Amino acid sequence: MKLIYFAKEEWEIDYVKQRLPGVELVVEGDTDAEAISVFVNHPVDAAEMDKYPKLKLIATRSTGVDHIDAEEAKKRGIAVASVPGYGAPTVAEFAFALVLALSRKVCDAHKQVTETGSFSQNGLTGFDLAGKTMGIVGVGSIGQHTARIAKGFGMQVLVSDAFKNDALAKEIGFMYAELPELLGASDIISLHVPYMKETHHLINTGNIGQIKKGAYLINTARGAVVETAALVKALEDGVLAGAGLDVLEEEGDMQDEMHLLSGLHPKEEELKVVLENHYLIDHPRVIITPHIAFDTREAIERILDTTVENISTFK
């Protein structure tokens, strides 16, 4: 089998090559490629599939597959393989890195010391997590790990999920709540749902006003789970005290703004979201990171090992 591996980092190619001795790694654009391996920031639509007429397998190194036109792949008889469950501890730990950075004003304190040399404590008072309520939307493997960490901090945990598991709730020590109740009762809301039609703008202008005044929103899931305009309004109105965002809606456009602006027919809605994203980037109580919640050496190796298995067992 001929494989095109779209690498995030160069070391990955050697790692994969050593573990796939029967697979030939070929360069991008090789029309004889039977398989491609992509990351979440590499869209695979009909035009991309057209480049590889012999394509039989798309092995994405991610849990979500929303960057792949799955219907088009199915029509062409192309299998899609993903990597479920690699990042439960990794992403959950990063969600709490954002929580702690916000609750203890870590970024503000670091900036003050490095930019002004001041060791004044004025304006840097934070708040304890113990006794606060964490609302977790989506209790898959990542959400479960997040709930366990929250309990370790002495927090009360509410969970909103399409499926209820009473045994799991009893084991971890959380309570189920419908989304409106969770939004209204939580001091910190952390999103851990996959992106799909049902979760598009799950947090939106219609329900963001239900959030408890002064709460914080954490999103390490997908940007489009949150309607950006609603998030901006909630920050402006003081409904949200702040946010920790590892993902943004239209984050691809943020990486290539000039392409978006120079297109013959730039989409008004995409331009609006990009402008709103700049508001979030500049907001003093918003921490934004470049989609790195998954990014530890251990997690990447788990991703690569599963991807290797997906490719080697493909028939």
pLDDT class of 258 with cuts at 50, 70, 90: very low
pLDDT class of 304 with cuts at 50, 70, 90: very high
Q: Kind of pairing, strands 188-191 and 24-25?
A: unpaired
**Range(s) of the domain holding residue 206:** 88-288
Tens of pLDDT, residues 240-249: 999 999 999 9
Whether residue 247 sits in one domain with residue 131: yes
Tens of pLDDT, residues 275-293: 888 889 999 999 999 999 9
Q: What is the C-alpha to C-alpha distance for residues 121 and 269, in angstroms, rounded to an integer?
A: 42
CATH code, domain with 173: 3.40.50.720
Q: What is the C-alpha to C-alpha distance for residues 98 and 105, in angstroms, rounded to an integer?
A: 10
Active site residue 76: no
Lowest mean pLDDT among 20-24, 152-156, 250-254, 262-266: 262-266
Q: What is the mean pLDDT of the chain?
A: 92
Q: What are phi and psi of 162, to 5 degrees?
A: -65, -25
Query: Given 34, 250, 251, 276, which residue is catalytic?
Result: 251
Tens of pLDDT, residues 34-60: 999 999 889 999 999 999 999 999 999
Q: What pLDDT does 267 receive?
A: 65
Tens of pLDDT, residues 153-200: 999 999 999 999 999 999 999 999 999 999 999 999 999 999 999 999
Whether residue 102 sits in one domain with residue 58: no
Whether residue 213 sits in one domain with residue 176: yes
Percent of the chain predicted with pLDDT > 90: 84
Query: Given 34, 145, 222, 249, which residue is catalytic?
Result: 222
Statement: residue 296 has pLDDT above 50:
yes
Statement: residue 253 has pLDDT above 60:
no
Whether residue 161 sits in one domain with residue 105: yes
Whether residue 179 sits in one domain with residue 281: yes
Q: What pLDDT does 262 receive?
A: 52
Active site residue 222: yes
Query: Given 48, 291, 302, 309, which residue is catalytic?
Result: 291
Statement: residue 261 has pLDDT above 90:
no
Active site residue 298: no
Q: What pLDDT does 266 receive?
A: 56
Q: What pLDDT does 270 receive?
A: 77
State how many domains the chain has: 2
Q: What pLDDT does 263 receive?
A: 52
Among 308, 306, 282, 310, CA closest to 86? 306
Whether residue 269 sits in one domain with residue 218: yes
Whether residue 167 sits in one domain with residue 110: yes
More confident residue, 152 or 88: 152
